[in-house]
Chains A and B, each alone.
Chain A
């Protein structure tokens, strides 16, 4: 039909206009948001690197600021959770834009290692980090450590009423009295240790009781805040949330004290935060520099002196003096390489926690 002659011209204009506007808009957009756009072939010493960061943003940011100041290498962060980012790296495969992966806990590192995506750490890092804080495969390295604690409300529980083992929290007397952040990687790492130490059946039954007994919060800080407010008697979290809040205002932790399970209990689990360089990285050299920096004196000192209150694990840097020394924690011996995050997620899904 001939009418369409006109309409064709008309709609072509519309098309052109739309295409033009879209291109402009996207150009405007990516101009401000794609700092990695300058990526060239591998190489130059100042090439920016991308870090998939599951560590606390504030801690990694202090590392990054110091690192960039020292080397001039720019760092772009993508923040997320351990398993989210590990699964994302695996899904991205060889196309992953990540150069370095940092976690809070080791199961996610193991997952990426098992997928064969880490290139392995160099001799310098190996010399900086004691063997107990890195896997025997040397595919990645520990960068920091944190201890499981039972944070409790001082006015609700006496020393005598505290659980002797994390496993006790499954008993009916604890119904409705304790909290955790089951959707977070921290808690999932604790469960993975339990799985490794106590086996699948015991862990699943513990998780099912937990579903009955505990209150779920999003994030350890929120759980601690709930303990502080007396909404629950106690919570399974990591130690540094308490120290961090105490160092700041204490408004979310002043009624809270920490209980360390010790005795090689699954609840005394010390979780190793990991760092690794991706085999697919186009900036291997700079990525290794970053990891060397974190595990080096300067990087570990940030753990000692900063507000993170995590334990340093390398370069002979001691922990912040306020913390219970690592070796006094009587942590259970757990092989980081055996922590299975996938299984944990499945078990927690089965228990109805996820």
Chain B
């Protein structure tokens, strides 16, 4: 209520230069963006860079602010502070404001938001500058682009399945050939089987079209599989930005680690590049702390192995068909009686969950040998 409306910038947001395939430019630049609704600060200073033609997933729990960030980028909301720039042109900031319909964006909402009073074809034509035959052929082309039969153009949105609706919504958003595609939880309303197929189809279409894409989701698997870059949002801030592999295997903090997937967290003692825990000494790359720490491993790093040097007893199992979650009681950390004992050192003996394909192998009470592959990540001890 404080800021008066802002004059639209004289220049259009069209790119100042043609992006060169070899030269990856920053298509979107979000810097220092803050946004409050009433007394609630939803975004507390967000910086994000998205490269031309790449796909970024913003992932976070409900209420973390990820949808607000997307709406700011789209132009449905304006930031209280900070700025948003597209292709180097500021579209929202202290001295600029470009409303949504003037930004070169495509937007696909959670349920597709197809206009119920228009047919599929009319929905797609809605954003087209052309009419008539040209539009009709473009509609057919776009439907094919999202792997749908052009005959669907005559149908009503209500006659489509959820996945088809989402694909039409994508075709509609693509019709204007936007430079930036914004997807707001587009797959969450679909059931599991359809979700994967639709996600794959959408992903392929977008990468074929070479459109810069931002996907907002609360589903970490979706984020990891869909994007080139994952930005983890927590409590109004981006906790970590990186490639899916990096954020999954080397999360910046414990909350991120646990949000992005199952994590085995053990008490450990960090000395040099080795973390001492119930699983023995685990190598850690560039540890940030020493002494008492939490060690994080992904469950798939812990394997049942004949002759492994770690021992545990199966507590119970959960059978999921293709794999079984096995809960294992680890032996306490072996202590050399001749060494003096540091009172802060962990004692070990935790129960951990790992996964295994063979349900028959692990009956409760069975003694197992384990081994650890790869490196662990450590976080400061927080009690």
Provide the residues of chain A in CB contact with B76, threshold 8 Å. Answer: 3, 6
Min CB gap B39→A, angstroms: 15
* Residue on B nearest A9 in the bound complex, by CB: B99
How many residues of A are counted as interface, with CB atoms below 8 angstroms from the partner's CB atoms?
Answer: 7
Instruction: For the complex, count residues of B whose C-beta is within 8 A of A.
Output: 12
Stretch at the interface among B2-10, B174-182, B195-203, B277-285: B2-10
Asked if B77 is an interface residue, CB under 8 A from chain A, the answer is yes
Which residues of A3-30 are within 8 A (CB) of B? 3-6, 8
Complex CA distance for A104 and B279, rounded to whole angstroms: 111
Question: A2 contacts B2, CB within 8 Å?
Answer: no
Taking a contact as CB atoms under 8 Å apart, the answer to whether B1 and A5 are in contact is: no
Q: Is B226 an interface residue (CB 8 A)?
A: no
Interface of A is mostly: helix
Chain B window 53-93, contacts with chain A (Cβ cutoff 8 Å), 1 for yes, 0 for no: 00000000000000000000000111000000000000010
**Interface presence of A1 (CB below 8 A):** yes
Q: B2: nearest residue on chain A (CB-CB)?
A: A1
Q: Which one of A2, A3, A8 has the greatest number of beta carbons of chain B within 10 Å?
A: A2
| B267, chain A: closest CB distance, angstroms | 48
A-B contact count (CB 8 A): 25
Contacts of B5 in A (CB 8 A): 2, 4-5, 8
**B100: CB under 8 A from chain A?**
yes
Q: Interface SS of chain B: helix, strand, loop or mixed?
A: loop
| Chain B: minimal CB distance from A311 (Å) | 70
Find out whether the CB atom of B100 lies under 8 angstroms from the CB atom of A1.
no
Q: Report chain B residues within 8 Å CB of A4.
A: 1, 5
A4 to B77, CA, bound (A): 9
Q: What residues on A are CB-neighbors of B92 within 8 Å?
A: 2
A130 → B minimal CB distance (Å): 76
Least CB distance, A3 to chain B, in whole angstroms: 6
Taking the closest CB of chain B, its distance from the CB of A216, in whole angstroms, is: 58
Residues A6 and B6 in contact, CB atoms below 8 Å apart: no
Interface: B248 (CB within 8 A)? no
**Which residue of chain A has its CB nearest to the CB of B97?**
A2
Q: Which residues of chain B are within 8 angstroms of A5 by Cβ–Cβ distance?
A: 5-6, 78, 97, 99
Chain A residue nearest to B75 (CB atoms) is A6
Complex interface: chain B residues within 8 A of A6 (CB): 76, 99-100
Distance (Å) between the CB of B7 and the closest chain A CB? 10
Cβ of A6 to closest chain B Cβ, rounded Å:
6
Interfacial chain A residues near B6, Cβ < 8 Å: 2, 5
Report B-chain residues with C-beta under 8 Å of the C-beta of A1.
Answer: 1-3, 78
Closest chain B CB from A312 CB (angstroms): 69
In the A-B complex, list the 7 residue pairs whose CB atoms are closest, starting with the nearest.
Answer: A2-B78, A5-B5, A2-B97, A1-B1, A3-B77, A6-B99, A3-B78
Using a CB–CB cutoff of 8 Å, the interface residues on chain A facing chain B are 1-6, 8
Hey, which bits of chain B sit against chain A, CB under 8 A? 1-3, 5-6, 76-78, 92, 97, 99-100
